[in-house]
Amino acid sequence: MVQGSSPAALTGEVEVVADIGRLLEADNAMFYVDDAFVAMTNVAPFRFNLDAANLEPGEHRIKIVVANAADRTIGTAEAAVVVLK
């Protein structure tokens, strides 16, 4: 997921991946679409499949929250996407 770039246009199923870089203490990642929780995984690499067909056309926000084993947030990322029909 790239922060600060122009919104990506989505159709169909899209894989969303948390690029944690050097966050070696990362234990899990939670994924949100428009502030609604949609998935959690503790299996690296942290990813989930988003089916854009389940979203209304238009702009949406994807947010990833990465936590350590103590469930403390150690990183977040957000990106805008545009769903096409």
pLDDT, one tens digit per residue, over 13-60 is 999 998 877 767 899 999 999 999 999 999 988 999 999 999 999 999
pLDDT given at position 55: 95
- Residue 1: pLDDT over 70: no
pLDDT tens for 47-72 read: 999 999 999 999 999 999 999 999 99
Instruction: Please state whether 14 falls in left (phi above 0), alpha (psi between -120 and 50) or beta.
Output: beta
What the chain holds in terms of domains, given with CATH numbers, is 8-83 (2.60.40.10)
70: left (phi over 0), alpha (psi -120 to 50) or beta: alpha
- Using the structure block, give the residue that is written with the tokens 């899990």: 28
- Residue 49, token pair as written in the block: 């499949």
